[in-house]
Amino acid sequence: MTPDGLTVLDGGDAPIRALVLDADPARRGDAPPLVQLRDIARPIPPAPGWALIRPTLAGINARDLALLSSDRTLPPMGAPRPLPMVPGSEVVGVVEEVNGTRWAREGQRVLVEPNAGCMIRGFPTCARCAAGEAELCENRDRPSVIGPGADGGLASGGGWSEGVLAHEEMLIPADGISDQRGVLGVSLAAAIHAVLRWNRRGDRVAVIGSGTTTRLVIAALRRLHPDVDITVMVDARGPQRTGRRRRKLPAHLAVDESSVARALECLGAARVWRGSPAQLLDRTAELLGARRMIVAGDDLPVLDRGLDAVIDCRGTAASVALGMRLLRSGATIVVAGRAGRLELDWSALWSRELTIAGSGGFGREPAGWRTFAAVREWLTDASFPADSLVTHRYQLDAFSTAIATAAAGEAVGAVKVVFEAPSAPFRQRRLAVDTELPVDDTAAPMLLAATAARVRRDDEGGG
């Protein structure tokens, strides 16, 4: 039986497969939900302007992992979606079916911007959507008046499947962009927006983190501010630590710190540091010639001539506290990680007149252009360094390994982990169901012939 609330259902059509997040009936309280691979009814575009997208690659991000772990310190964005649901908001795919679209056509490769504002979800336009800030929509906590199909689209997940709904206004042509670059669109948009949240005053910036967002923030900083000096500070409590104790990993899982540093430097970092907060503060003071200012009752100093900006891609209490200590007076920390309930000493905020800027989405930037317009331009440019960020690909039925790999991250050499969907279009598989004949995938229209996924397989097969 298809779970209620996942999609707008059409019981007369061939099903699709999806990774469904559902409550565990055998457990109570705050137990993490279960993930299962199920057959569900094919989503139907609920109104004119909507399209059914067949994902070719769908990413796993921090929001997805938070949903899987029932992390209540990280409330999801968008309209609340009761279980069962399908996660996944990072998608590059192919238009499979349309309902009254103006330009989107079946067979077209697209990126998807997972912002569904008032117009898309059937509400009168709010002030934020009128300003082009759909990610801040004042109606995002309300179920769509169109129906569950509008809320079940990529505005709040659904990409871990063989079919997901998206409105035409959320689609961007992917001509000239490989799948392995296109699936980074959401992460790149978030990185660009985070960099633009810093109203530049100065030349020295630190980025805290080492994952996908960190790497794209470095690349975005280098592209938008070619002359800026970038220091990357990998979290002192890195992937080999849990809680207060260091856990020794097997040799084949140990972090190759030198390769991580080289990768970050290739993206534009001037230097990559690891260490405790005290060590990172000392190294920054030496680099800048800053004086360490000791506050009574505090174990760690603040820097009197510190950095001009910190972009924190972790969003933990430790990383935010470190970021504020690294800054000069009057500087800015951009919190681009998914921070939740943090217990911090905020005295430095007012005493040193720091600015904290949150960065949780993207839409229209202050200069008036759409963030995804830059995403398309940058990903089309072969010189933009994004080809190495997708490190692991899995079929939907290997979801346990995929999720574990994404959660382990740097400890297993993972940056962006993605799901690969079958390349055969739905219409071919529906024909197979109707006729009870097998479908020869090699005879199906090769809509993805130019994608990186196809090229990689050809290279592997041809030596």
Domains of the chain: 16-186+367-462 (3.90.180.10), 198-358 (3.40.50.720)
The per-residue pLDDT for range 348-407, each reduced to its tens digit, is 888 889 999 999 888 888 888 899 999 999 999 999 999 999 999 999 999 999 999 999
Angle at the Cα of 140 (from 1 to 3), degrees rounded to 5?
5
**What band does 70 get if pLDDT is binned at 50, 70 and 90?**
low
**Token pair recorded at residue 7:** 């999609």
Determine the number of helices (DSSP H) and then strands (DSSP E) in the chain. Answer: 15, 19
* pTM summary value: 0.83
Report strand pairing: 416-420 vs 50-59.
Answer: antiparallel
The pLDDT, as a whole number, for residue 230 is 98
The pLDDT, as a whole number, for residue 432 is 47
Average pLDDT over residues 294-323: 89
- DSSP percent split of the chain into helix, strand, coil, nearest 5: 30, 20, 45
Which amino acid type is present at position 218?
I
Whole-Å CA distances, 411 to 93, 251, 252, 407: 29, 11, 10, 9
CA 243 – CA 238 distance, rounded (Å): 11
Are 112 and 166 in contact, with CB atoms under 8 Å apart?
Answer: yes
Whole-Å CA distances, 443 to 189, 289, 421, 423, 446: 36, 66, 17, 11, 8
CA 113 – CA 132 distance, rounded (Å): 13
Task: Quote the percentage of the chain above a pLDDT of 90.
Answer: 51
Average pLDDT over residues 223-243: 74
The pLDDT, as a whole number, for residue 126 is 94
**Token pair recorded at residue 184:** 């980074």
Report strand pairing: 271-273 vs 109-112.
Answer: unpaired
DSSP summary character for residue 325 = H
Highest mean pLDDT among 34-43, 155-164, 304-313: 304-313
Q: How many residues are there in the chain?
A: 463
Given a cut of 60, whether residue 449 has pLDDT beyond it is no
Given a cut of 90, whether residue 32 has pLDDT beyond it is no
